[in-house]
Amino acid sequence: MLFYIVLSALVAALVYFHISIRYSRQGRMLSKIPGPFSFPIIGSLHLFTDRTQRGLWITIRMITDTWYPICKGWAMGLPLLSVRHPDDLEVILSSQKACYKEFPYKYLRSWLNDGLLTNKGDTYRARRRMLTPAFHFNMLRRYVDIMNEQSGRLMTELRANGKEFVLDVLPIYADVSLNIIIESAMGIDLDKTDKKVIKDYKEAIEDMGIVLTYRMLRPYILDWMMTPFTEIGRKQIHALKVLREFTDKIIKERRKYHEMLGGIKGYKEFTDSLENQDESESIYAIGHKKKLPMLDILLSAEKDGLLDEKGIKEEVDTFLLGGTDTTRMVMAYFTMLMAENKKCQDKARAEVCKVLERSGGKRGMTELSQMPYLEQCIKESMRLYPIASTIFRHTVDDIQLKNYTIPAGVVVICQIIDAHRDPNFWTEPEKFDPDRFLPENCRHRHPFAYLPFSAGPRNCIGQKFGWMEVKAVCSRLLYNFYLEPIDSTRDMQLIGDFVLRPADPFHTKFIRIDRE
């Protein structure tokens, strides 16, 4: 008898849960929007029979193509809305009513806490204003020297492979992107760091990507369930241990550096010095690198009471995640597409050589800005393969889209890759064509049809840094190598976690250019 009473109570609770959500004001408003069939309680999760990273990608693409340009779904009572039309993307990404981040970013808060990427929005504006000086022109100018040095090392390593060789392009840029962000953002030279520590750190980031996908498809798994008694719990616990130890080591080393110099400046004094800096001043002073890393901004803010130790760790973790996988994948896709498009490759290389010949080999910000065709090629690579292929937002109030009103409390999934390949806005969208980004071809394009760095108040704060890094590395690549295809992007299978990435290795042939 007790069993039937408990069972009846459970069924009644589930029925109440279903009715209270689906027939609430929110549920009634969402019912007007098309989408796949949703069962009670589980919602649309029945569509995700393949719960791998690849399976998730395939299912989402099927849903967004079937219900164009907008569709709704449910997952264990969580309302989801997928949008891909530039008009709707503009409203969502520009609105203060959709500035908050909840699902799936909450699954990263065990690592990033309230860093810029995962910050719900309560302290986001203040934190972003505080970090903006890290990307001041005078800071970026200093970073170019680091980018050139590290990309030069990479080319030396690649050239040592011989006259002709074939490599998987995905791991090639992992070290250079990590070295650049660590040295420029944190003031630490990774060449002096144990290689196993670096290897473990990169593997830990990959493991957290697996954890993210796993939990996205299982929203019923709560934080307290991520214990050592489950495989996924053990994976997260180990990854977090490695990531935290790496961050602590970086911060400790930078603190020690400033203690040796007598302490760091306060925040205002530090940022004022950037404004008044002599543009001719180099990163090199008396033969030594004069570093002004982003981490110093955080430490100076701590000195003035604007940030605590926890806040420093949050932003260091966020900078490292945002500055490693993102740029290395842009470089990898650029390499693949240049190999497949020889005419574009040759034209970009000729431009790079012309600029370097004119500058006497100098590779500063001015020289990088004089490579418009290279820039077009990178932009087209990022159109076809946007690193942030999907962006999530959480509505805190009703928002009026083109054809529907979206209620508060909805997770909006902005399908950037679908907007980038929408034939209504891009002629032959699957074709690689850098001329799409000629000024005359951009003039009348919808401003939200191309969003490689997101847009609106929560766009990528480090986009200028990332853009400069990619141009520095890619210009050196074309100067040093001819590229020929081995694998084809047409056959490439994609997956998404932190970034859009190929599911399998992708090989390209490198032919060394020997110059006199």
Tell me the per-residue pLDDT of 297-330, one tens digit each, with 9 for 90 and over: 888 888 888 888 998 899 889 888 888 889 999 9
Check if the beta carbon of residue 509 is closer than 8 Å to that of residue 163: no
DSSP states of 63-77 as a string? HHHHS-SEEEEEETT
Which residues partner with 258 through β-bridges?
none
Span 400-420, pLDDT tens digits: 998 999 999 999 999 999 999
User: Helices 372-384 and 463-480 meet at what angle, rounded to 10?
Assistant: 110
Q: According to the model, what pLDDT value does residue 220 have? A: 82
Check if the beta carbon of residue 374 is closer than 8 Å to that of residue 474: yes
Q: How confident is the model at residue 391 (pLDDT cuts 50, 70, 90)?
A: very high
The residue written with tokens 């959709």 in the block is: 98
- Report which residue type is found at 444: H
Say if residue 514's pLDDT is above 70.
yes
Which residues partner with 78 through β-bridges?
75
Per-residue CA distances from 211 to 235, 236, 447 (Å) = 8, 7, 34
Say if residue 17's pLDDT is above 80.
no
Span 220-257, pLDDT tens digits: 888 888 889 999 999 999 999 999 999 998 888 888 88
Q: According to the model, what pLDDT value does residue 282 have? A: 40
Mean pLDDT over residues 139-148, rounded? 85
Share of the chain above pLDDT 90, in %: 46
SS3 content of the chain, % helix, strand, coil (to 5): 60, 10, 30
Say if residue 60's pLDDT is above 50.
yes
| Statement: the pTM of the whole predicted model exceeds 0.85 | yes
Residues 6+ positions from 149 with CB-CB distance below 8 Å: none
Rg from Cα positions in the chain: 24
Structural tokens at position 216: 């996205």
Q: CA-to-CA distance for 185 and 318, rounded, in angstroms?
A: 11
Is 12 inside any structural domain? no
Structural tokens at position 334: 């650029």
**Where are any strands of DSSP class E within 277-341?**
284-285, 288-289
Is 28 inside any structural domain? no
Span 217-229, pLDDT tens digits: 888 888 888 889 9
End-to-end CA distance of the chain: 91
3-state secondary structure of 483: strand
- Domain residue limits at 307: 33-277+289-512
Q: What angle do CA 287, 290, 295 make, to 5 degrees?
A: 155
Dihedral sign for Cα atoms in the order 182, 183, 188, 194: positive
460 labelled as ligand-binding? Answer: yes
DSSP states of 140-166 as a string? HHHHHHHHHHHHHHHHHHHHTT-SEEE
Check if the beta carbon of residue 482 is closer than 8 Å to that of residue 341: no
- In total, the chain counts a number of residues equal to 516
Of 1-10, 181-190, 262-271, 288-297, the least confident: 288-297
Is 319 inside any structural domain? yes
3-state secondary structure of 172: helix
* 76-90, 110-124, 127-141 — most confident range: 76-90
Share of the chain above pLDDT 70, in %: 92
Q: According to the model, what pLDDT value does residue 327 have? A: 93
* Residue 61 zone, left/alpha/beta (φ > 0; ψ -120 to 50; rest): alpha
Q: What angle do CA 338, 341, 342 make, to 5 degrees?
A: 90
Q: How confident is the model at residue 185 (pLDDT cuts 50, 70, 90)?
A: confident
Q: According to the model, what pLDDT value does residue 18 have? A: 63
Is 284 inside any structural domain? no
Check if the beta carbon of residue 332 is closer than 8 Å to that of residue 506: yes
Residues 6+ positions from 234 with CB-CB distance below 8 Å: 228
Q: CA-to-CA distance for 286 and 155, rounded, in angstroms?
A: 27
CATH number at residue 161: 1.10.630.10
Of 26-30, 58-62, 149-153, the least confident: 26-30
Is 99 inside any structural domain? yes
* 82-91, 110-119, 136-145 — most confident range: 82-91
Q: CA-to-CA distance for 511 and 384, rounded, in angstroms?
A: 25
Q: According to the model, what pLDDT value does residue 128 have? A: 87
Domain count, the chain: 1
Q: According to the model, what pLDDT value does residue 14 have? A: 66
Is 306 inside any structural domain? yes
Is 77 inside any structural domain? yes
User: Helices 174-186 and 137-159 meet at what angle, rounded to 10?
Assistant: 150
Is 137 inside any structural domain? yes
Span 276-303, pLDDT tens digits: 655 444 433 333 344 567 888 888 888 8
